[in-house]
Structure 1
Amino acid sequence: MGANSRNHWFLDPGPLSSWIDQFANELAAQRYTPLTIEGYTASARHFAAWLGSAGISIDVIDDDVVRRFAVHRCRCPGARQWLRISPKYSRRAGKFVVFLQRAGVALPPLKVVSTYPLLDDYQSWLRVHRGLSERTIARHLRHLHKLLPELGTATVDYDAARIRNVVRGWRERTRPADLRTITSALRSYLRFLAGIGLCRPNLDHAIPPVLQWRLSSLPRYLAAADVERVIASCDQLTRGRLRDRAILLLLARLGLRAGDVAGLRLSDIEWMSGMLCLSGKARRQVRLPLPQDVGDALLAYIEQERPHVHQQAVFLAMIAPYRPFAQSSHVSTIVALALRRAGISDPPSTGACLLRHSAATSMPGAVSTGRGANKRLA
């Protein structure tokens, strides 16, 4: 803190001084702490002073300039003799540049031309017509970038033999679980191409199935008493106690997926009818009854602990900036931490699906493995 205060007087941000003040105001509006804001503005002030000493004009600031700042050997005013800038420090300067780009002061980021232009249309098709989550779309694209160098871009020349040869090659290089996701992405892409007339129809049937024996693994769920211990462990928390309890109850009582919980919006809760509206896979609308303890937990969190910000997402981060969960994996992290607090040292798994499967086994008519009820939850 003291070093930052001294550097404030030696570093001259020049014409960017007023923009640094506006940057600080934006961070304050997002509920960043004063100490964090000071760290960001110190990085921004250093970046602005370095621009002046390097003779770089404001109107040519881009991502390459940020990279040059990150690797420069610092001899800037303020008694700085750094051999290199820390990654955290340069990331904070990068956030300031993003702020300048939004304000129209700096150049907007360059749009990289895709090596496979068809993937742009495919991405839109997945989002609009298939209703897939952004995470699933990103995974499909990641796999296709691995496959397309072998398949080639001449889609009209695709045939069953070529498809099978590529899949066989990947079968030798990857595990069955990974191969399943790879072939799933390829089937989806071939259906898209056939739908717009860029490849032969039904080529997706040429992809051989990845065998996985049904019911070959042991059931992966917790006993009812252990589930209650996990939920009760939230009482040990000083921050996020009500939030984590509401999340765990949604998973354990309703069998929701992690993505369902992370994507839950305030408007999805029908308080008068006691129902919960969800968009399931492929955007199928589902309405579920809200159990009393789940509804009470949600209400307690929203009224007593949820930050008062203009966000539609029900569950938010507990430290500024108060944003929705960036990934559904944050929900699984909450489950893993609760398992540890509850003293369950050897659970079958540690993700959100563990409570989902446990909910399935406790439902009336569920088979011994819980898979029958789990299908109904889908």
Structure 2
Amino acid sequence: MKFVISNQVVLSRVPDGPIAPYLGGFADSLIATGYTAWWIHRQVLLGASFSQWLGRKAVALQDLTSDHLTRYLQHRARRLRPRRDDHGALTHLLGFLRREGVVPEETTAVPTPSSVDQCVLAYEAYLREQRALTTATIVNYVPFVHAFLEHRFGAGVVKLSCLSAADVVNFVRHQAPRLHRKRAKLMTTALRSFLNYARFCGDVDVDLAAAVPVVPNWSMASIPRAIGPAQVRQLLASIDRRTALGRRDYAIVLLLARLGLRAGEVASLQLDDIDWKAGQLSVHGKSGYRNKLPLPADVGRAIAVYLKSGRPPSTSRSVFLRARAPVCGFQGGCTVGSIVRHRLQRSDVDAPTFGAHQFRHGLATEMLRGGASLGEIGELLGHRHPQTTMIYTKVDIQALRKLALPWPGDAR
């Protein structure tokens, strides 16, 4: 006798076991997140088999743990060939049951944080709550601060009042030779931030941040690698906009190229950030900074086409969604970077890099060559400090030659 789980799943017999009453809701959740009918049927069938095994073992839902998943799959492998995604499918089911509140969250023994860990956690909270820094910045700073405290205090108790300039200098001298120049500069920036925090807390009376050595570096030594206008046009032309995926990726590349957005800014773009009447885009920049930008007609048209005939049905407010289940917004800028890399690899474009940031550099370079001021460029790119925009003055060599003073004396 067939048993209907949902409009997309029909089993050959009535399921039993403790999970059986929840299989219909599980199937509905998979449908809502965009999984295919075949994959939904397979996950529900595996869940029904798992439920039957739990019933034979007399395992109640309140006692269900991830260890039961492993034991069941070992049992199943004795008579059926295992698949790589079996564990993931059951983990998905277990997550659904926990969200429904029928299976409790697993409690694991949390080790007592060390004195160094406690100090770092307090510093993280300061960066997040007092300084409003982004998660990416905090993630970059914390490992260096943790290493510095371990270098100075080891497994002992952290006493920031005992820190001295010699401790700071010795740590930098020990670590800097092992790091790339950019990483070494990031390390010194993180240390200055932490030492300013220590002074803010009142644990340090002197300005130890001033004792952090400067990593040798020629000012503005590297020129940003920028993609050219012809390369951008070639890349856009290579994207097949007849497909939903193509319409999404075309809109993303156009946003990067025309507005110079960062990959993370594109990923975090929400439907409410687009003001269609005013023709404006509200961009969530670094440190929570919001910047309103004009929405070019071609960019707005590309986004509208994607929203109308490319974006999967979803309750998510993110503009751009994953093309494969689970259908949801991007987790971060890395997804946008992967899309750019994939599109460049499939095209014949000879781009400077495979990254998304080259579009930002390309826009700034063309604006500079078109006569835009550094202030205008910085405003569009969302730079909060003029020094950040100064790097682009090295790009337009011809314009710089016009500013060069003649060599004193007669020309020879």
**Given the superposition, is the C-alpha separation of residues 14 and 294 from structure 1 closer, same or farther in structure 2, using an over 3 Å criterion?**
same
Q: 2:95 aligns with which of 98, 105, 109?
A: 98
Alignment TM-score, normalising by the size of structure 1 = 0.83
Instruction: Give 1:357 shift.
Output: 0.5
Q: Are residue 129 (structure 1) and residue 130 (structure 2) matched?
A: yes
* Structure 1 partner of 2:42: 39
Instruction: Return 5+ residue gaps in structure 2 as ranges.
Output: 1-10, 384-412
* Structure 2 partner of 1:26: 29
C-alpha contact (below 8 Å) 1:264/1:314 kept by paired residues: yes
Instruction: Give 1:71 shift.
Output: 6.6
Instruction: Give 1:62 shift.
Output: 3.4
* Structure 2 partner of 1:183: 188
Instruction: Give 1:132 shift.
Output: 3.0
Give, in whole Å, the separation in 1 of the partners of 2:85 and 2:101.
Answer: 25
Q: SS in structure 1 opposite 2:328? A: coil
**Given the superposition, is the C-alpha separation of residues 185 and 27 from structure 1 closer, same or farther in structure 2, using an over 3 Å criterion?**
farther
Q: Are residue 349 (structure 1) and residue 353 (structure 2) matched?
A: yes
Q: SS in structure 2 opposite 1:278? A: strand
Q: Are residue 253 (structure 1) and residue 258 (structure 2) matched?
A: yes
**Given the superposition, is the C-alpha separation of residues 174 and 62 from structure 1 closer, same or farther in structure 2, using an over 3 Å criterion?**
farther
**Where does 1:267-278 land on structure 2 (aligned, <5 Å)?**
267-278=272-283
Cα deviation digits, residues 279-312 of structure 1 (max 9, x gap): 3222222111111111111222222212232222
Identify which range, 41-50 or 255-264, moves more after superposition: 41-50
* Structure 2 partner of 1:204: 209
Instruction: Give 1:143 shift.
Output: 4.2
Instruction: Give 1:353 shift.
Output: 0.4
Instruction: Return 5+ residue gaps in structure 1 as ranges.
Output: 1-7
* Structure 1 partner of 2:74: 74
Q: Are residue 62 (structure 1) and residue 55 (structure 2) matched?
A: no
Give, in whole Å, the separation in 2 of the partners of 1:375 and 1:128.
Answer: 27
* Structure 1 partner of 2:163: 158
Instruction: Give 1:79 shift.
Output: 6.9
Instruction: Give 1:173 shift.
Output: 2.5
Q: Are residue 358 (structure 1) and residue 362 (structure 2) matched?
A: yes
Alignment TM-score, normalising by the size of structure 2 = 0.77
User: Aligned residues, how many?
Assistant: 363
Cα deviation digits, residues 137-191 of structure 1 (max 9, x gap): 3343344444442233333322222122222222132222222333333333333
Give, in whole Å, the separation in 2 of the partners of 1:190 and 1:237.
Answer: 55
Q: SS in structure 2 opposite 1:186? A: helix
Give, in whole Å, the separation in 1 of the partners of 2:14 and 2:218.
Answer: 66
Identify which range, 177-186 or 261-270, moves more after superposition: 177-186
Give, in whole Å, the separation in 1 of the partners of 2:241 and 2:129.
Answer: 43
C-alpha contact (below 8 Å) 2:247/2:306 kept by paired residues: yes
Q: 1:238 aligns with which of 240, 243, 248?
A: 243
* Structure 2 partner of 1:5: none
* Structure 1 partner of 2:295: 290
Q: SS in structure 2 opposite 1:183? A: helix
Give, in whole Å, the separation in 2 of the partners of 1:186 and 1:54.
Answer: 56
**Given the superposition, is the C-alpha separation of residues 97 and 151 from structure 1 closer, same or farther in structure 2, using an over 3 Å criterion?**
farther
Q: SS in structure 2 opposite 1:241? A: helix
**Given the superposition, is the C-alpha separation of residues 71 and 208 from structure 1 closer, same or farther in structure 2, using an over 3 Å criterion?**
farther
Instruction: Give 1:259 shift.
Output: 1.0
Cα deviation digits, residues 66-123 of structure 1 (max 9, x gap): 5xx33777234x97256xx655321222222222222222232436354413433433
Q: SS in structure 1 opposite 2:327? A: coil
C-alpha contact (below 8 Å) 1:11/1:46 kept by paired residues: no
**Given the superposition, is the C-alpha separation of residues 81 and 269 from structure 1 closer, same or farther in structure 2, using an over 3 Å criterion?**
closer
Cα deviation digits, residues 180-233 of structure 1 (max 9, x gap): 333333333333333233444533332223333234334411221111111222
C-alpha contact (below 8 Å) 2:241/2:250 kept by paired residues: no
**Where does 1:327-342 land on structure 2 (aligned, <5 Å)?**
327-342=332-347
Cα deviation digits, residues 232-288 of structure 1 (max 9, x gap): 222266341221111111111111111111111111111111111123222222111
Give, in whole Å, the separation in 2 of the partners of 1:193 and 1:311.
Answer: 41
> What is the letter of the counterpart of residue 360 of structure 1?
A
C-alpha contact (below 8 Å) 1:260/1:278 kept by paired residues: yes
Q: SS in structure 1 opposite 2:85? A: helix
**Given the superposition, is the C-alpha separation of residues 45 and 129 from structure 1 closer, same or farther in structure 2, using an over 3 Å criterion?**
farther
* Structure 2 partner of 1:4: none
Cα deviation digits, residues 356-377 of structure 1 (max 9, x gap): 1001111145799x99876552
Identify which range, 185-194 or 90-99, moves more after superposition: 185-194
**Given the superposition, is the C-alpha separation of residues 154 and 318 from structure 1 closer, same or farther in structure 2, using an over 3 Å criterion?**
same
* Structure 1 partner of 2:8: none
**Given the superposition, is the C-alpha separation of residues 304 and 215 from structure 1 closer, same or farther in structure 2, using an over 3 Å criterion?**
same
* Structure 2 partner of 1:15: 18
* Structure 2 partner of 1:322: 327
C-alpha contact (below 8 Å) 1:317/1:324 kept by paired residues: yes
Give, in whole Å, the separation in 2 of the partners of 1:138 and 1:38.
Answer: 40
**Given the superposition, is the C-alpha separation of residues 89 and 11 from structure 1 closer, same or farther in structure 2, using an over 3 Å criterion?**
farther
**Given the superposition, is the C-alpha separation of residues 98 and 288 from structure 1 closer, same or farther in structure 2, using an over 3 Å criterion?**
same
Tell me how large the CA RMSD over aligned residues is: 3.2
